[in-house]
Structures are given as structure tokens and as C-alpha cells.
A and B are shown apart, each in its own frame.
Chain A
Amino acid sequence: MSGLRAFSHHLQAVGQAPLPPLDEAIRQACREPYRRVDRFIQLALLGAARCGAGLPLDEGCGLYLGSGIGPEGNNIVVQEQICRDHLLPRPFNFVNTLGSSATYFVAKDRGLTAQGWWACRRGATLEALLELALADLALGVCRQALVGVVEECPAPYEEHRLRCQAPAAAVMAEGSHWLLLEAQAAPGGASLALRAGEPAELLEALAQAWAAGDALAFGAQVPPLLQAGVARLVGAPPFGAGLPFHDSLAAARATAWLQEKKKGRLHLLCGGPERLMYLSIQAPA
């Protein structure tokens, strides 16, 4: 089990009204009020700043940031400038089309100089980032890993829903979900483990966890029939079933569970149809 030193959770459902600006929150949480940053970068900055705020990070702390949809709001602006308005994109708009712009600002704000990666897997970005970060911790590439998943929800929301291929009835949301991991868990501290496995083996583990009174949850890419079957078996809805939707539901459910200060363990069946994964999080004693 790797140590889970800190987390942060931001999940904001969208309604009819525009999402509130983040500038004031950024001013309070970050080192400086960064200019030329879009909402995607702001969400990344805010989540990273709140994850272990006040904790000095290891000099070699790795940064692993990702998103299933990416900096969508800025990329819409750029495509409209180029294709509809026949204008060259503004330099900062163009540079911010890249996910690594968000990595840059987070590294700058948290004083990170080691590895900074932006990676994703549609519907399972947390799982992909954790695979990379846990491998680097195991290999000694880094001793700490700051892992963050950011999903933006730009208006108009119906167009966003189409891009996300979200269920028609889902309430859409933006989110920023962060975990600060260490190679070894501290005694009595929170911890986290991730593994891949055959469906039968993972379902057996899930059943045992339920019998032990632990919480269960699912990632976005777990086949719905499988989710329904497990829910029927245990006779209760999984944790986070009512949370609003974005592309990284495993991340939203993991940090929401930590936010609620639950005791015991959360067992998250995640990954995708090609390869199921099992994420277990142990709350601090």
C-alpha cells in the first residue's frame, strides 16, 4: 500500500446559472494571481494548492495531471478564432490548448522541479495516472507523487454533454480531484493500492469487502450491467452513485469519499471493459 498523505476535492454541478468565477479562490489558495490562465488551469491550480496545503513537498515530488476531455473551453475559443472568425489564435490561447500548460502553472505554484506529466485515458484518467505514479514510486523515480484529475464543464452544457458522450439524464459537473501519494504509508495513516485483475477475481474481492462492511464504488467505464449486478447483489447503491457527471467518475468518487471523512475502506471497481482495475483506499485510523 502506498501512503495517501493528503487529498483535495472540488465537484461543482452546473445548472442554469453560469459557474461562479474562481479568481478569488485562486488568490486565497495560490502563491500569485496568475494571468492568462483559463478555467481549466484555474481548476488545476486550485485543486493542487488545496492538496496538502502547508505541507512542504519533497524536492523530487512528481506531478501527474490529466483529464479525459482536457482544456475544452480554451480549445473551443481557439477553434472558433481559427475556423469561424479567420483570426490567428492569441498566443496564450494557443499555448493553453496543451495540457502541459496546466502542468506548468501547478509546478510553478507548488515549487515543483521534478517530473511533470500530463496523461489521460478516456473515462479512466485517475486509473492511468495512478498506474504511472505508483510505478514511479515503486521504482524510486520519486518519493512523493502529486496526482490530479481535472474536468472542465464549459457552456453551452448540451454541447459539452455531446463531447463527453454523457448519459442524457446526467447532471453535468466540473471537478478537480487531487491525491498526494508517498511510497510507504505512515503507521495509522491513509493508504491506497491499485491492481488489475480478472473480473471474477475482482468481483470476489468486492464481495468480501462488502461483507466486511466496507464501501463500494464504480468508475465510469465499468460496464453498466456489471454495476447493476453488483448493486443488486449487495442490495444497496454504491457510494457516489448520485454524484453529478464528468469524465473521471472514479476520481470524483474517491475524493468525495475522503471528503466525507468516512472510516474503513473504499473499494472502487474501475478501469474499463478491456481491463478491470481495483482501487482500494484505507481511511486514516
Chain B
Amino acid sequence: MTPRPAHIVGLGLSCALGRGLQPSLKALRAGQRRTRTLELRGYSEPVRMPYYAMAGEPDDLFAIERFLALIPEAAAEALAQAGLAPDALKRCGIFVGSTAFGVSRAEGEYLEVLGRDPTAAFALPRVGFQEISERLRTACGVGGPDFTFNTACTASANALLAAQRLISLGALDHALVLGLELANRTTLTGFSGLQLVAAELKPFDAQRSGIVLGEGLGAAVLSSSPGSLGLRLAGGASNSDTFSVTTANPDGSSIAALQRTVLRLCGLQAGQVRAIKAHGTASPLNDAGEAAGLRQAFDPLPPVLALKPYLGHTLGACGIIELALLAGALEQGWMPATAGFSQADPALGLTPLLQEAPAPDGAYLLNYFGFGGSNTALVLEKAS
């Protein structure tokens, strides 16, 4: 059996940079980095942090209705570009990745009952894993099998990889992949408690001190038939790192192993990789592990860029959000510069791409790492 290609035929994006892929690309090229301050009151410790809210959203990011209202937005954009026929849409698989799913809605409903009648309130009034795919079915008319991934910050990257493999095998002709992460109390208080949040996101910088959270939705339509975009998801790989439940091994060993596996599975030599989109969270340990892993697997290193300074860390949605943004830029012929970097860290031996650069045809590698020891790398191919 010859594996079939998985072409990217539609992209959609709603993030801190903008609503829609083209406005987001324009803001990215202009270097826009816009955060607002989020504060949760009434806790034993202060919960106050910068946050990359989606562009154009109102002050109240915790409104219950946001979740269901926003789900179809990026998917509709991607599906409109893909232009699938009605029968193809009915068979189109649904792949969802998130860490928090509908927890914002469940929190809101629980708080509402707690405020009205505490004796009637019970926590977690709904389980949200399936809500996103159900909403996509009703709002967008997508009708194929659904798969929901909860592998922390690799969730939508793994959703992309699973969709690519099922198309490659011939089990599906088309797949809609969606990553979603919206502001919620669990994520904000959880990361606050872990003390991983910084004032500014500075990947690979000597002064980096942690992540800044963000929200957004990204969508891609993959197809066994080419569309108008000259982009293909060539494949990827995933591995498990049991060094720690919250970080990859900082010696870089598991990340280097992942790079080698993805190159082997995609039939690539290290020298053929045009550039690497780093996970680049700006947390001291993550960047140390990623830099060490990249240096072990690539000599010389191709250009390395990081997108989180423009988007925030969108957790389970970053797999598709960062792929959509990079793919959109590559399709226009450019690679984005990395913002937030001013001082090299001699311990890392890695300086990211600091100026926008032309994007030649070829293979681009995208890295994602998450809690639970989940590491995933994808290969995106650009052809004119």
C-alpha cells in the first residue's frame, strides 16, 4: 500500500493577533504583541497575570456562552476555504484537541447554582470532551467519525497527526482538525499555583522566566486531494518522556530522539529541514531541553523560530494555531521573526530567527511538548 498524501486545503484561525487567518498574518508581520491583565479576585493568593485574549473579545472572558458560540468560528473559515462537497462533508472526520474543553462553561454553571442555591450545586455539572465535536456537527454539518485528544499541550498536534495517518491509510478522505482553548478559572489558577507564569514571554532568552497564557481556536481541513494551498502535512511522530510529569528531560535526550524519529518516518535528512518552529514556551526548563535536543539532532541547526510571543501559550490548541499561522506565512513566502528575544543564553547555544526571512519550498518541522511527558513533532511541506 502506498500511503496517500494529506494536503492542507483549508485553514482557520482566531487568536490574539486577529479574527481570521489573513488579519492574524498581517498583525504577525507587523509584530503585534497584545496582552491584557486578567485578575481573579477572592483567592487566598493573588491571581493576576498578563493574558493573550482573542482579538475583539469583550472584558468578560468567563461568560458561559462564549464556549459554544466560538467553537464554529475557525472551523467555518477553514471549511469555506476547503470547499468540500456536501457528501464529502458528511464523511469528513472530526479531530479535536484541547486541555480544558468546555470547563469554562461547567465552571460558570456550577458558580451560578452555588450563588443561587448551594445545596443544589454539584461540581462538574457536565463532561465536556464531546461538546466540541457535537457542536461542529450541528453548526458546520461535518458528519464523520470524531476523535478527541487530551494530551495536554500536544493535544491538537496529535489530532493533526492522527488525521494525517488515517488519510494516509485511506480510512478517511477528509478531516477537519480543531484546537480550542478559552480562558477559564481552572487553567488560570492552576498555572498560577504552579508559579510558571511570567510577565513577558521571551523564548530562548537569557532573561526568560516563564509562560504567558493565551486563548484561541485554530482549524485545518486535510484532504487526500490537493486544494489551492501548496501545503502538505507530511507526517510526524510522538514519544513519551517519563523524566517528569510537567517537563521534558532538560538534557534534551527525549526531544532529540523525537527529532530523529520524525525525520526517519518522513524520509528526511536533517539537512533537508528548512526551519524549525520551536515549542518555545520560555520556561527555563522547557527551553533548555528543547535547545539541547535540537542541537543533538541538527548540526548545523536550521533557522529556529517561536510564535508564542505573538499568541501566548494556547496550550492544547497551540498545535493547530501555530501550524495555521506558520502555514499561512509560508504560503505567502515568508518565515516569521521571533519576538521577545534580546539576550542570548550561553547555556542554550541557540539564537532564534530575529528577522523575517524568505521561505523556500521544502520541509518545515514543528515541535510541541506537553505535561504528561507528551512530545510531538510534525512536518509541514511547502511546494509552489
Binding site for B on A (CB under 8 A): 63, 68-70, 72, 75-76, 78-80, 82-84, 86-91, 94-95, 97-105, 107-108, 112-122, 128, 131-132, 135-136, 138-139, 141, 156, 159, 162-164, 196, 271, 274-275
Contact = CB atoms under 8 A, between A and B. Distances in A.
B238 interface: yes
A108 B118 CA distance: 41
Contacts of A99: 150-151, 372
B189 A89 contact: yes
A163 B144 contact: no
A161 B113 CA distance: 19
Given A78-B190, A118-B150, 4 more contacts: A113-B254, A132-B162, A135-B171, A139-B169
B209 interface: no
A97 B186 contact: yes
B371 A128 contact: no
Contact of A121 (B106, B143, B147, B245): B147
Contact of A90 (B125, B193, B238): B193
A119 B150 contact: yes
B296 interface: no
Contacts of A275: 144-145
Given A63-B240, A86-B43, A139-B3, A131 B126 contact: no
A264 B243 CA distance: 43
Nearest to B192: A88
B166 A70 contact: no
A99 B238 CA distance: 16
25 contacts: A68-B130, A69-B127, A69-B129, A79-B106, A88-B189, A94-B189, A98-B371, A99-B151, A101-B372, A107-B240, A108-B373, A112-B240, A114-B238, A114-B239, A114-B240, A115-B240, A116-B151, A121-B130, A121-B145, A128-B146, A132-B162, A132-B166, A138-B1, A139-B165, A139-B168
With most chain A CB atoms within 10 A of its CB, the pick from B168, B257, B374 is B374
Contacts of B147: 119, 121, 128, 131-132
A137 to B, nearest CB: 10
Nearest to A75: B124
A275 B162 CA distance: 18
B276 interface: no
A132 B172 CA distance: 12
B127 A86 contact: no
Contacts of A87: 43-44
Contacts of A138: 1, 169
Contact of B238 (A102, A117, A274): A117
B245 A163 contact: no
B265 interface: yes
Given A98-B152, A104-B242, A91 B193 contact: yes
A100 B169 contact: no
B373 A107 contact: yes
Contacts of A78: 186, 190
Nearest to B122: A159
A44 B193 CA distance: 26
Given A139-B169, A274-B145, A103 B372 contact: yes
Contacts of A163: 124-127
The 9 closest A-B pairs by CB, nearest first: A100-B372, A94-B190, A116-B240, A122-B130, A99-B150, A79-B123, A88-B193, A108-B242, A107-B240
Contacts of B44: 86-88
B110 interface: yes
Nearest to A122: B130
Interface in B187-221: 189-194
